[in-house]
Amino acid sequence: MGTVRDVRETRTGRGTKAKDARADRSDLSGAWAAYGVLLQHLRKRAGLSQQELGEAIGYSLEQVASVEQGRRPAKAAFTAAAERALEADGVLEALQGEVDRAKLPRFFRNFALIEAEAVSRFDFEPLLIPGLLQTEAYSRVLFSGHCPPLSEEIIDQHTEARLGRQKLLTRVPLAELSFIIGEEALRNPVGGSEVLRGQWQHLLQVGALRNVEVQIMPAASGFHSGLNGSFVALQTQEHRQLGYIESQEVGCVIHDPAEASALGLRYGKLRSQALNGVESARLIERLVGET
**pLDDT value at position 188?**
95
Contact 244/253 with Cβ under 8 angstroms? yes
Query: In whole angstroms, what is the distance from residue 211 CA to residue 170 CA?
Result: 8
Contact 206/178 with Cβ under 8 angstroms? no
Query: In whole angstroms, what is the distance from residue 82 CA to residue 198 CA?
Result: 34
Residue 73: C-alpha distances to residues 66, 78, 102, 251 (Å): 8, 10, 9, 24
Residue 288: CB atoms within 10 Å: 15
Which phi and psi (to 5°) does residue 215 adopt? -125, 150
Q: Is the pLDDT of residue 133 over 70?
A: yes
Which phi and psi (to 5°) does residue 195 adopt? -65, -45
**pLDDT value at position 3?**
38
Calculate what percentage of the chain has a pLDDT beyond 90: 77
Question: Which residues lie across from 250 on neighbouring strands?
Answer: 247
In this predicted model, what pLDDT tens digit does every residue of 233-281 receive, in sequence order? 999 999 999 999 999 989 999 999 999 999 999 999 999 999 999 999 9
The mean pLDDT of 201-222, rounded to a whole number, is: 95
**Sequence-distant (≥ 6) Cβ neighbours of residue 189 within 8 angstroms:** 196
pTM: 0.79
